[in-house]
Amino acid sequence: MKILIASDLHYPTINGVSTFSRNLAKGMAGRGHEVVVIAPSQTGKKCKEVDGNHTIIRTTSVPFPFYQNFRISLAPDREVKKILAEFDPDVIHIQMLLGIGQSTMKYGNKMGIPIVSTNHAIPENLMDNLRLLAPVSRPINYILKEYFSRFHLKADYVTLPTKSAIGMMNIEGRMKQPVEAVSNGIDLAHFQPGEFDPRVAKRFELPLDVPIVSYIGRVDAEKHLPVLFKAFKRVHESVPDAHLLIVGGGTEFDNLNDLARHLGIARHVTLTGRVSDEDLVALHKAGTVYCMPSPAELQSIATLEAMASGQPIVAVDAGALGELCQDKRNGYLCDQDDEEAIADGIRAIITDPALRKQFSHESLAIAKTHDIQTTYDRFEAIYTKLIS
């Protein structure tokens, strides 16, 4: 079948939406389908490129100042209409509801093409990065959720990555069309437990044979990483050889370096910035425990990757994280921004090898239920049903 994927966030931008949309394109093309992705240009000018086994058609764009490496297409109607007419897809899968998503929904509906719409984001993903709007964030969040719901009403099939996400968006029961939880999934052949490569440790100046608390993901305000830094300071006071590893880039990178110095833990913290895909896989093996302090997760691919790499999890009991970090099964859930409870959870795991081994085993078991091949199977079935 001919599949068109519309994504306002796409590689090389790094976040859950871009990761999933690229994985989906590669996976569907790998199964013999013809796949075209519409995404914003990284240079501003429209262009066409090949990403392994599928084509990306990039629309004209401008920088979006509140999100690292993110460009936005402001008025892509003409470009999207032309792409749809020329490619003539059997099915459309929309990943976001910004300019490209809006135009693709509009012309997909006009042309009678079946549309699957997946919601990956919640208003907090944006609002936490716009501090000037903090006093009015609650009413704006409500308005945005209503806007999200109205957008998805125009699709033929709606998916979100978790059951929790469906509840958070308050859309089940309001939709005439099917609404289903379909995991973003991860490649279990790619992320596996194993020994941490000492050559990678040397390159990133990471200590060996010490407990490492890791976070791998975007370094933006919505992730609440200062809470993790303050929790780690508490951990370090009782486990002085512990080390904090932060992998990823974002708008808060410089602020976190300053915070580490202010807290007196800079010598025990490594911030790598953005890394290659190969190094990301290797660095997931470095951690003794993975911590996710963000309260705004509709699933968290990064947490799944850590679990598939054999890490126990300490996370906040918010968003959909409770579906991955199951309290006292594969880690500990804590109240949002509770640095003391987060520190207690981390400390309990890194000081008890037997507990860590138990939690690691359970993380692997949960991760196996999110194999990306199962995700591909499900979307393939949804597409086939809509087309027929």
Which of 13-17, 186-190, 319-323 is the least confident region? 13-17
Of 6-20, 69-83, 126-140, 285-299, which has the strongest mean pLDDT? 285-299
pLDDT of residue 126: 52
Q: What pTM does this model have? A: 0.88
How far, CA to CA in Å, does 295 sit from each of 151, 319, 324, 331, 338? Answer: 24, 6, 13, 16, 11
How far, CA to CA in Å, does 235 sit from each of 70, 158, 333, 355? Answer: 35, 43, 17, 17
pLDDT of residue 121: 78
Band (pLDDT 50/70/90 cuts) for residue 49 is very high
Quick check: 127 pLDDT over 50? Answer: no
Burial 218-242 (b: 16+ CB within 10 A, else e): bbbbbbbbbbbbbbbbbbbeebeeb
Sign of CA dihedral 310, 311, 313, 319: negative
230 and 315 Cβ atoms separated by less than 8 Å: no
Burial 61-73 (b: 16+ CB within 10 A, else e): beebeebbbbbbb
Mean pLDDT of the 282-301 span:
96
Domains and CATH numbers, the chain: 2-185+371-387 (3.40.50.2000), 198-370 (3.40.50.2000)
How far, CA to CA in Å, does 18 sit from each of 7, 15, 40, 345, 378? Answer: 7, 6, 11, 31, 19
Half-sphere exposure of 360 (CA within 13 A, CB side): 19
pLDDT of residue 123: 55
d(CA 374, CA 253): 35
pLDDT in tens, 303-312: 999 999 999 9
Band (pLDDT 50/70/90 cuts) for residue 132 is very low
Quick check: 172 pLDDT over 70? Answer: no
pLDDT of residue 16: 86
Band (pLDDT 50/70/90 cuts) for residue 341 is very high
d(CA 352, CA 371): 29
Per cent of the chain over pLDDT 70 is 91
Which of 94-108, 114-128, 255-269 is the least confident region? 114-128
pLDDT of residue 201: 97
pLDDT of residue 291: 98
pLDDT in tens, 267-289: 999 999 999 999 999 999 999 99
pLDDT of residue 165: 87
